[in-house]
Amino acid sequence: MDFTFSEDQTMLVDSVRKFLMNEVSPELIRELWTRPSGRSRELWSLLAAQGLTGLSVPEANGGMGLNDTDWVLIAQECGYHALPEPLLDTAWAAAGLIAALPDSDFRSQWLSKIADGSARIALAQPQSGLVPDAHWASLILLPQDGALYAVSPQLARLTLQPSVDASRRLFSIDWKTDDAERIATDAKAICDEAFNRSAVAAAAQLLGLAQRMLDLSIDYTAQRKQFGKPVGSYQAVKHHLADVAIRLEFARPVVHRAAYALAHRKPLAAVQVSHAKIAAAEAALLAARHGIQVHGAMGYTWEMDLQIFMKTAWALDAACGDRSFHLARVRDFALAGNAALGPAHTFEE
């Protein structure tokens, strides 16, 4: 197994990083919190103009046909900048799900719309009763009893539910099953794959969020002085930040391995996805907890940028399967009699 990213992958993520740095500021995120939709058509158009909405779409439908390992570094950058737009839901998870359907007018029509940015797709997960960004979507994909339905938001009753993260708009959906909206009858396998892809997207964003909170904490403790010295020079503060850095470095290859396993359809992909979600969440939650502490308990206040990334991390920790769900998948694998565990199996494909 090769963990090295190619030159093309690193060049792509460098350009995405520069774009997000210029276009997604904490000030914009705060401003979007005050809008009823919570979203920006202008920002979405810019994402589409950069070609980001078409990364997973097959080339025949106007996209670039990239895979999960190409996405994982981009998702980290989306987390680092707390991108509020549903880019990963639409362009990675939903595009992958639609691309896995048999050839049809529906498939080609919606893949082309995703690629050119004219469609936003909301994807319901069986492990959660809530659908993010259903109000902002052109189409909602809803798994039901092994089948997959494509529902117009205008034909469903959407009820906004509270979220700890003001950037995250969650909806419960009341709708009646209609055969005319069914796009696949035996869709469990591709819906499971889409769920795992969403979970890796959440894990990669959590890595980015952890890194951002660590960077903010380092900057703050380097500038804040006590008794004439930066508080970051004190050993206790250094230990807090070092603990986060270590947790982050241990989580990073776990997330990358899960993306690789999904891209290459490895048999242990599901359990490796759960391992990634747990490891990334633990790194992000530790970064939030220690970030608050080294900010002198001011980190949660509105004025501090740390609270933006902290709340997003809390929300993503519970998204795409909560911790008990992912721990159960890892536990069931580890306790199976034939589980390949230990250092000798770390780099097995």
Q: Above 90 in pLDDT, residue 338?
A: no
Strands 157-161 and 229-230: unpaired
Question: Measured between alpha carbons, how far is residue 330 from residues 76, 96, 319 in Å?
Answer: 23, 25, 17
pLDDT in tens, 130-167: 999 999 999 999 999 899 999 999 999 999 999 999 99
Residue 269, domain extent: 189-345
pLDDT in tens, 254-285: 999 999 999 999 999 999 999 999 999 999 99
Local confidence band at 1 (pLDDT 50, 70, 90 cut-offs): low
Local confidence band at 2 (pLDDT 50, 70, 90 cut-offs): low
Local confidence band at 245 (pLDDT 50, 70, 90 cut-offs): very high
CA distance 69 to 71: 5
Residue 202 lies in a domain: yes
**Token output for 291:** 């970030």
The pLDDT of residue 84 is 95
Q: Which of 245, 256, 279, 213 is nearest to 79 (CA)?
A: 213
CA distance 111 to 150: 13
Which 3 state secondary structure label does DSSP give 139?
strand
Local confidence band at 213 (pLDDT 50, 70, 90 cut-offs): very high
How many domains are contained in the chain?
A: 1
The pLDDT of residue 231 is 87
Please state the pTM of the whole predicted model.
0.95
Q: For residue 320, is it left (φ>0), alpha (ψ between -120 and 50) or beta?
A: left
Mean pLDDT along residues 72-87: 97
Residue 161 lies in a domain: no
Enumerate residues 6+ apart whose C-beta is below 8 A from 81: 20, 21, 24, 208, 212
- The mean of the pLDDT values for the chain is 93
CA distance 106 to 98: 9
pLDDT in tens, 287-327: 999 999 999 878 888 889 999 999 999 999 999 999 999 99
Number of C-beta neighbours around residue 264 at 10 A: 13
pLDDT in tens, 5-17: 999 999 999 999 9
Q: Above 60 in pLDDT, residue 349?
A: no
Residue with tokens 């009893």: 145
Residue with tokens 């990358």: 256
pLDDT in tens, 85-125: 999 999 999 999 999 999 999 999 999 999 999 999 999 98
The pLDDT of residue 225 is 85
Label residues 48-72 b or e (16+ Cβ within 10 Å = b).
Answer: bebbbbbbbbbeebbbeebebbbbb
Listing DSSP states for 90-109 in one string gives IIIIIHHHHHTSPS-HHHHH
The pLDDT of residue 125 is 83
The pLDDT of residue 342 is 75
The CA radius of gyration of the chain, in Å to the nearest whole number, is 20
CA of residue 155 relative to chain centroid, distance: 27
Residue 300 lies in a domain: yes
In the chain, alpha helices (H): 7-23, 26-33, 41-49, 68-80, 87, 95-99, 105-116, 188-223, 235-263, 269-294, 306-318, 323-334
Which 3 state secondary structure label does DSSP give 73?
helix
What's 332's domain CATH number?
1.20.140.10
Local confidence band at 337 (pLDDT 50, 70, 90 cut-offs): confident
Residue 239 lies in a domain: yes
250 and 279 in contact (C-beta within 8 Å)?
A: yes
Residue 95 lies in a domain: no
pLDDT in tens, 163-201: 999 999 999 999 888 888 999 999 999 999 999 999 999
CA distance 129 to 86: 18
Burial of 203 (0-12, 13-18, 19+ CB in 10 A): buried
Burial of 128 (0-12, 13-18, 19+ CB in 10 A): middle
